């Protein structure tokens, strides 16, 4: 370890103490590898400040010493945004000790939390105050509110409540020079110039460290109706989505799609799961309605799906009669990510399209991939209600690093060209990180890239915040 690094660690220790430094190689290991096991890095040290003031001091020290910072929350990101490079020169700033719910304000219907609060704990705090915080995703037991904000996370309730950008009213951010921007305003109207909050949301740790947030709360949904549907194609499910929305309005909170291959993967690799329908169908949907009180939700869902069965828009449906049954269906849906990791090497495409373009996209993309000469299996699933597909492609577990690299180059071009032709986005909810950085360069217009680079320069002239990610 160089003398400069030793001196940096000594000064960091003076700020955060023993509890705030991870120097031991074994203890550092979980911070250095991402959830998918795709990226691995090295660092000088992992620093875990206890609060905003300590974070500001740490960042100021890194600013003065030109030390690059990789901010990390729950380390569940899917784009390599929280993994350091392998130079050993970067430091990881972990927010996980900043885990206080600062205030719940039921009158303003808001909650103010530290950025390191685990999403599930934020949900519990809202519930404890008789309110509801709707962001929900498979990693909610370990991802943090700061990571959700930094990636503008989506998940399974965006259709009704919006993504993280729409759920945050205010932020507190430590800027790259160590100053603290206090934007913790719980306001629904605030037209006082450029919206700095919206710049930090989705910035993936490249503009500053988010240390706190004011989040919107909602009424608790006391009634739910859940069903699993089998259909022949995404076109049929898109049709069903439109009808369900027209009939049920805002009561429709989730409409998730899974191909037969996605379902089969879960049944094979996730314990205690079983097929919801007697006969396998090419496509499946998990649909949920919710309301503050039960004014006949189940009957409404049965009516919509009954009609769809009658006119053969769908081929089968299973209605849940208990919360336990619904939980079993959600276990299947949320098991897909884990099942993919167990089954093969996955080339991920996190794309967004107009919902009306999805059926056409799937047909064309399937044909292109069938013709591309790879031994590949498409694992197509996602948040159909948001027009967001995880159009993932799996190649054998035995594939070498070089195989994965070549397949990724080939498949990205096929899939992302098609998405771009259809006016879609190559990055819907997981962020750009290091996974899609080159793709962003390829598809964003030079003007958009120039504007983003100028924003980066204005906030972070020494380029110490998460270098190599996003831009």
What residue ranges bind ligand MLT (CB under 6 A)?
78, 138, 336-337, 348, 390, 392
**Is residue 133 part of the contact set for ligand FAD (CB under 6 A)?**
no
Helices 260-269 & 323-334, crossing angle to 10 degrees?
100
Element (H or E) spanning 401, and its range?
A: helix 401-421
Phi, psi at 403, each rounded to 5°: -60, -45
Dihedral sign, Cα of residue 196, residue 199, residue 201, residue 207: negative
Element (H or E) spanning 223, and its range?
A: strand 223-231
Q: Which residue lies nearer to ligand MLT by CB, 77 or 468?
A: 77
**Is residue 262 part of the contact set for ligand FAD (CB under 6 A)?**
no
Nearest residue to 20 (alpha-carbon basis) of 95, 99, 119, 83 = 95
- Euclidean distance between CA atoms 172 and 323, whole angstroms: 38
Residue 81: CB minimum distance to ligand FAD, A: 2
Number of H helices and number of E strands within the chain? 17, 19
Residue 334: CB minimum distance to ligand MLT, A: 6
- Euclidean distance between CA atoms 109 and 97, whole angstroms: 26
User: Are 214 and 185 contacting, i.e. CB atoms less than 8 angstroms apart?
Assistant: yes
- Euclidean distance between CA atoms 412 and 350, whole angstroms: 11
Q: Which residue lies nearer to ligand MLT by CB, 301 or 339?
A: 339
**Is residue 84 part of the contact set for ligand FAD (CB under 6 A)?**
no
Kindly give the pairing relationship between strand 168-174 and strand 209-216.
Answer: antiparallel
Cross-strand pairs, 53: none
Longest CA–CA separation in the chain, Å: 75
**Is residue 137 part of the contact set for ligand FAD (CB under 6 A)?**
yes
Nearest position to ligand FAD, beta carbon: 147
Q: Which residue lies nearer to ligand MLT by CB, 60 or 165?
A: 165
- Euclidean distance between CA atoms 222 and 291, whole angstroms: 6
- Euclidean distance between CA atoms 349 and 282, whole angstroms: 20
Structure token digits, residue 232 = 């022949």
Residue 205: CB minimum distance to ligand FAD, A: 3
Residue 163: CB minimum distance to ligand FAD, A: 7
**Is residue 155 part of the contact set for ligand FAD (CB under 6 A)?**
yes
Q: Which residue lies nearer to ligand MLT by CB, 201 or 464?
A: 201
- Euclidean distance between CA atoms 115 and 98, whole angstroms: 7
Q: Which residue lies nearer to ligand FAD by CB, 89 or 223?
A: 89
The item of ligand FAD, ligand MLT, none sharing an interface with residue 210, based on CB under 5 to 8 Å by kind, is: ligand FAD
Q: Which residue lies nearer to ligand FAD by CB, 154 or 176?
A: 154
User: One symbol per residue from 336 to 355: x for binding ligand FAD (CB under 6 A), - otherwise; what is it?
Assistant: -x------------------
Residue 346: CB minimum distance to ligand FAD, A: 12
Nearest position to ligand MLT, beta carbon: 337
The item of ligand FAD, ligand MLT, none sharing an interface with residue 394, based on CB under 5 to 8 Å by kind, is: none
User: Are 55 and 211 contacting, i.e. CB atoms less than 8 angstroms apart?
Assistant: yes
Residue 181: CB minimum distance to ligand FAD, A: 12
Phi-psi region at 234: left, alpha or beta (left = phi > 0; alpha = psi -120 to 50): alpha
Q: Which residue lies nearer to ligand FAD by CB, 104 or 145?
A: 145
Residue 82: CB minimum distance to ligand MLT, A: 15
Nearest residue to 316 (alpha-carbon basis) of 359, 285, 272, 274 = 285
Total chain residues near ligand FAD (CB under 6 A) = 38
The item of ligand MLT, ligand FAD, none sharing an interface with residue 336, based on CB under 5 to 8 Å by kind, is: ligand MLT
Stretch near ligand FAD under the rule CB under 6 A, chosen from 99-107, 252-260, 405-413, 424-432: 424-432
The item of ligand FAD, ligand MLT, none sharing an interface with residue 143, based on CB under 5 to 8 Å by kind, is: ligand FAD
Instruction: Report the residue from 52, 54, 67, 75 that binds ligand FAD according to the rule CB under 6 A.
Output: 75
Q: Which residue lies nearer to ligand MLT by CB, 47 or 238?
A: 238
- Euclidean distance between CA atoms 35 and 74, whole angstroms: 10
The item of ligand FAD, ligand MLT, none sharing an interface with residue 111, based on CB under 5 to 8 Å by kind, is: none
Q: What is the DSSP string of 37-68?
A: S--B---SEEE--SSHHHHHHHHHHHHHHT--
User: What residue has token string 């209600």?
Assistant: 385
Instruction: Report the residue from 41, 74, 134, 176 that binds ligand FAD according to the rule CB under 6 A.
Output: 74
Residues interacting with ligand FAD, by CB under 6 A?
A: 35, 70-78, 81-82, 95, 115, 137-139, 143-144, 146-148, 150-151, 153-155, 204-205, 209-210, 337, 429-431, 433, 466, 469
């Amino acid at each position: 370890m160089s003398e400069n690094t030793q001196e940096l660690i000594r000064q960091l220790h003076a700020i955060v103490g023993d509890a705030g430094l991870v120097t031991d190689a074994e203890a550092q290991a979980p911070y250095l590898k991402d959830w998918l096991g795709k990226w691995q890095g090295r660092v000088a040290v992992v620093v875990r400040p206890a609060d905003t003031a300590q974070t500001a001091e740490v960042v100021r020290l890194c600013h003065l010493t030109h030390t690059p910072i990789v901010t990390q929350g729950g380390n569940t990101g899917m784009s390599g945004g929280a993994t350091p490079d392998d130079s050993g020169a970067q430091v990881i700033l972990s927010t996980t000790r900043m885990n206080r719910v600062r205030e719940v304000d039921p009158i303003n219907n808001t909650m103010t939390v530290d950025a390191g609060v685990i999403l599930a704990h934020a949900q519990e705090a809202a519930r404890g105050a008789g309110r509801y915080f709707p962001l929900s995703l498979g990693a909610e037991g370990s991802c943090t509110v700061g990571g959700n904000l930094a990636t503008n996370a989506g998940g399974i309730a965006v259709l009704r409540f919006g993504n993280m950008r729409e759920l945050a009213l205010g932020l507190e951010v430590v800027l790259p020079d160590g100053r603290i921007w206090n934007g913790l305003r719980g306001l629904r109207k605030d037209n006082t110039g450029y919206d700095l909050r919206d710049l930090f949301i989705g910035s993936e740790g490249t503009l500053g460290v988010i240390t706190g947030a004011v989040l919107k709360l909602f009424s608790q949904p006391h009634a739910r109706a859940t069903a699993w549907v089998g259909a022949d194609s995404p076109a049929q499910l898109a049709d069903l989505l439109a009808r369900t929305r027209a009939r049920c309005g805002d009561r429709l909170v989730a409409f998730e799609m899974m191909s037969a291959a996605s379902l089969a993967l879960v049944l094979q690799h996730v314990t205690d799961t079983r097929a919801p329908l007697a006969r396998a169908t090419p496509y499946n949907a998990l649909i949920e309605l919710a309301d503050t009180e039960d004014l006949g939700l189940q009957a409404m869902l049965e009516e919509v799906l009954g009609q769809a069965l009658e006119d053969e828009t769908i081929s089968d449906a299973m209605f849940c009669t208990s919360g336990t049954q619904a939980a079993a269906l959600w276990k299947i849906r949320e098991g897909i990510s884990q099942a993919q990791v167990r089954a093969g090497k996955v080339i991920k495409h996190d794309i967004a399209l107009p919902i009306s373009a999805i059926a056409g996209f799937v047909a064309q993309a399937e044909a292109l991939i069938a013709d591309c000469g790879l031994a590949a299996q498409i694992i197509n699933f996602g948040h159909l209600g948001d027009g967001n597909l995880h159009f993932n492609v799996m190649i054998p577990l035995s594939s070498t690093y070089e195989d994965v690299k070549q397949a990724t180059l080939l498949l990205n071009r096929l899939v992302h060209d098609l998405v771009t032709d259809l006016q879609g986005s190559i990055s819907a909810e997981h962020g750009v990180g290091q996974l899609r950085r080159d793709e962003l360069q390829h598809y964003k217009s030079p003007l958009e890239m120039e504007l983003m680079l100028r924003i980066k320069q204005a906030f972070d002239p020494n380029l110490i915040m998460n270098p190599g990610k996003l831009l």
